[in-house]
């Protein structure tokens, strides 16, 4: 019984430690103004530099997404690729080829790997997911938090 109490105390201390670490990470993130909102209208995207990082900003029907400009394959400049849709062939399409996700797919210009912008998911390897950054418009400026 005493062992259980000790274990619980240890878990509680670990939880506090994790919470503190998480809080620290959040507070270390900074906001950056990256572009005037008018420069990235719906249906467009661009790559901005923030410090040493390059971030792709995508405007899909008025919703902004921010992804790293790095392909997981060989670190190609993913966000400089073309944005379009892709061919889908799943149970939902009755195993027939169908065009889908129009305006939501970015294709890496180096070797053609495709990523779903809203989720960051690599279509060929769905277990691979790009990180995404918080992005929003404030005072007519696009801001990201890194
Ligand atoms: S580096 Fe992007 S597909 Fe190869």
- Banded pLDDT at 20 (limits 50, 70, 90): very low
**Tokens 């670190």 found at:** 75
Ligand 1 centroid distance, CA of 5 (Å): 52
Task: Using CB atoms within 10 Å of the CB of residue 121, give its burial: 0 to 12 exposed, 13 to 18 middle, 19+ buried.
Answer: middle
Ligand 1 centroid distance, CA of 43 (Å): 23
> What is the number of the ligand 1 atom nearest to the C-alpha of 74?
1
Give me the pLDDT at residue 12, please: 41
Please tell me the distance from the alpha carbon of residue 65 to that of residue 68, in angstroms, as a whole number: 10
Q: Tell me the per-residue pLDDT of 25-83, one tens digit each, with 9 for 90 and over.
A: 556 889 999 999 999 999 999 999 999 999 999 999 999 999 999 999 999 999 999 99
Name the residue of 113, 114, 124 to mutate for ligand 1: max ligand atoms within 8 A of Cβ: 113
Residue 67 — φ and ψ, nearest 5°? -130, 155
Least confident of 15-19, 26-30, 140-144: 15-19
Give me the pLDDT at residue 2, please: 37
Give me the pLDDT at residue 28, please: 84
- Judge if the beta carbon of residue 116 lies within 6 A of ligand 1: no
Q: Tell me the per-residue pLDDT of 100-116, one tens digit each, with 9 for 90 and over.
A: 999 999 999 999 999 99
- Judge if the beta carbon of residue 108 lies within 6 A of ligand 1: yes
């Amino acid at each position: 019984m005493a062992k259980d109490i000790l274990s619980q105390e240890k878990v509680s201390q670990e939880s506090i430690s994790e919470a503190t670490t998480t809080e620290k990470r959040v507070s270390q993130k900074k906001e950056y103004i990256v572009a005037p909102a008018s420069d990235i209208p719906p249906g467009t995207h661009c790559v901005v530099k923030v410090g040493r990082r390059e971030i792709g900003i995508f405007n899909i029907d008025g919703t902004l997404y921010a992804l790293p400009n790095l392909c997981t394959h060989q670190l190609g400049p993913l966000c400089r690729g073309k944005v379009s849709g892709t061919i889908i062939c799943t149970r939902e399409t009755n195993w027939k080829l169908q065009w889908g996700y129009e305006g939501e797919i970015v294709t890496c210009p180096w070797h053609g790997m495709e990523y779903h912008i809203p989720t960051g998911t690599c279509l060929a390897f769905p277990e691979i997911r790009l990180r995404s950054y918080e992005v929003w418009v404030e005072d007519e400026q696009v801001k990201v938090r890194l």
